[in-house]
Amino acid sequence: EVQLVESGGGLVQPGGSLRLSCAASGFIFKRYAMSWVRQAPGKGLEWVSSVTDEGGNTDYEDSAEGRFTISRDNAKNTLYLQMNSLKPEDSAVYYCAARAGGIVTTTSLYDYWGQGTQVTVSS
C-alpha cells in the first residue's frame, strides 16, 4: 500500500520557520520526483516546489523561491520542505506528492498524494 504521511505543520508567527516532512512507503521512493503542493481555504491546489528523483534538481514557485528549500533523503524515504520567513499568505494545507518521471508543475499529473498537514501563519 502506498503511503505518504506529512508532518511538521502547525501555528507559527509571521517571519517564523517550519520544517515539513513526508514519509513515503509502498513504492520505490528514489525513482519518483517529489513535490509539495498547498491549498489555502477556498482556493485550488497550488504547486509549491519539486525535486528530482535523485535530488539533483529543484524547482520553486516564485513566491517560495529564496524562502523555501525542498530536499529529500532517499535512504530514509523522506521528503522535506524547510520554510523560512513565513507569511500569512503561506497558510494552507501542505501536501506531498509523487510522480514517476521528471518534474512537472501540473498537479493533476501526480501519481500519489499524502493527506496533508496544516500550516497556519498568524500573530
Kindly tell me if the per-residue pLDDT of 102 is higher than 90.
Answer: no
Q: pLDDT, tens digit, for every residue of 37-75?
A: 999 999 999 999 999 999 899 999 999 999 999 999 999
Instruction: Determine the residue type at 47.
Output: W
**Taking all residues of the chain, what is their mean pLDDT, rounded to a whole number?**
97
Strand order in the sheet with 3-7: 3-7, 18-25, 78-83, 68-73
